[in-house]
Every structure is written in structure tokens, then in C-alpha cells.
Structure 1
């Protein structure tokens, strides 16, 4: 694995993270909430149509989630563009540990909230997000 490829893959990771942001932002408005509702229904497998987006609290949490995901995705992109060349191993580790931290807490919360299927989905997202970042790049 080369540093050039790691730098490229950090941008892939940032897109994977930020791609969920518009879905949850759209969940804040009743007219555009179906994709967010369906996403939560899918992640809390099986798809049964019981997940709703009617509660104002759900819409508010959706706004927060979308904002956090967009900010995190942009941060990873900026680390790739502005910092990686100066500290490639440190950036790789920072993103890797950030992804692992998300995975552990999100998966634990999914399990304790009665949605263990999301931990499995999280595993797939983790593998895609981390990709080659598991291994240090050759200089």
C-alpha cells in the first residue's frame, strides 16, 4: 500500500461517512423523511414498516446525526488534503481510531436498544470505511 493510495482512500472514507448526512437531514422534514425512515427500518432489520419519523424528537436527532456525519466526513477529507502529506501515519491512525470508536459505541448502543442487526451493518460500513487503512503505507 502506498501513501498516495492511502491519501486517495481517506477521501473515499470521508464520502462513505458523509453520504449518510443528507439522508438524515432529509428526515427532519415530513415531506422528505421517507428515505431516512426506510434507512432506519432497514438497519433495524427486518424491514417491517414499524419505524416512523413522526416524533419531533426523532426529527431533531436526525438533524443532529446528519450534522455530525457531514462534519466528520468533511474533517476526514480535510485531513487527507491538508495534513496527510505532513503526517501520514498520524492521520491514518486518527481516522482508523475514529472509525473504530464509532463502530464500538454505535454497535453497543444498537444492541442495547434492541437493534442488533445494525451492528452487522456497521461491520460492513467499517470494512468499507477502513479499507486499506488497517495497514501502514510504505513510503
Structure 2
């Protein structure tokens, strides 16, 4: 299970780095990663547009939520619990990133997806 927990922590950390780029004050780590990917390292790529910042918040939230889901499953948690915790983690990070990026309407759209996660993960009584 160590390898799955390691994977989960890497996903969570990477998701957080990406989500932080929804704020101009916190985008340096993502810009450095982009500079490494768009070789050579020359300070070229920048996260500048509102759409880029929104997508950073969305994709960072997705990656972090995925990491939380893997962490719950790696710890022996049931699928409903993993869906609930991963979905809530995604919702919080994505929604904060959306608000910081200047796209608060995306939070309303996220709420529909959150409802699906809550439905799938809410504890059920045995019949």
C-alpha cells in the first residue's frame, strides 16, 4: 500500500501547486514547472490570462481530489467514502481557485457535480 499512498501524496502535492496558480501571487511554482516542460529554461511561459488561472484552479482541484480518493482507497476505505472525500476535496480546491481566478460562476456549476459526489458517497442504511 505504500506505493499507492506515495502516489496519492504526489497527486495531492502536484494538485495544490497547480491550484495555487489561480492566484498571481502564488503562481511561481507552476510557472517554473511550465518553464521546465517548455525547454529550455528561459523564464518564458507565464500564467497570465483569467482563463489560464481558472483552468489552473480546476485542474489542480481535480488532481488533488484524485489524490484524496486514492489515499482513502489505499487506506482500505470503501468506494463511497473515497468518492465523498475526494469529491469534497475537489470541490473546495476548484471552487476557491475559481473564485480567486475571477470566475465565481464556476462554483455554481461545481455544485451540480458536488451533488453527484454526495449522492454516490453518502452512507446508506442496509435494507
TM-score bracket relative to the smaller structure: 0.5 to 0.7
TM-score (norm 2): 0.57
How many angstroms apart in 1 are the aligned matches of 2:14 and 2:22? 13
Corresponding position of 2:67: 73
Within a 5 Å distance, the mapping from 1:1-139 to structure 2 comes to 7-83=1-77
CA shift at 1:19, angstroms?
1.3
Residue segments in structure 1 that go unaligned for 5+ positions in a row:
1-6, 85-139
Question: Separation in 2 of the partners of 1:31 and 1:83?
Answer: 36
Structure 2: stretches of 5+ with no match in the other structure = 79-127
Quote the offset at 1:50 in angstroms: 1.5
- In structure 2, C-alpha distance between the alignment counterparts of 1:83 and 1:25, rounded to whole Å: 26
Superposed CA RMSD in Å reads 1.8
- Normalising by structure 1, we get a TM-score of 0.52
Structure 1 runs of 4+ with >3 Å offset:
none
Pairwise CA distance, 1:82: 2.6
SS in 1 for 2:75: helix
Q: For 1:72-94, what per-residue CA distance to the aligned partner results, in whole angstroms no more than 9, with x for missing partners?
A: 1011101111348xxxxxxxxxx
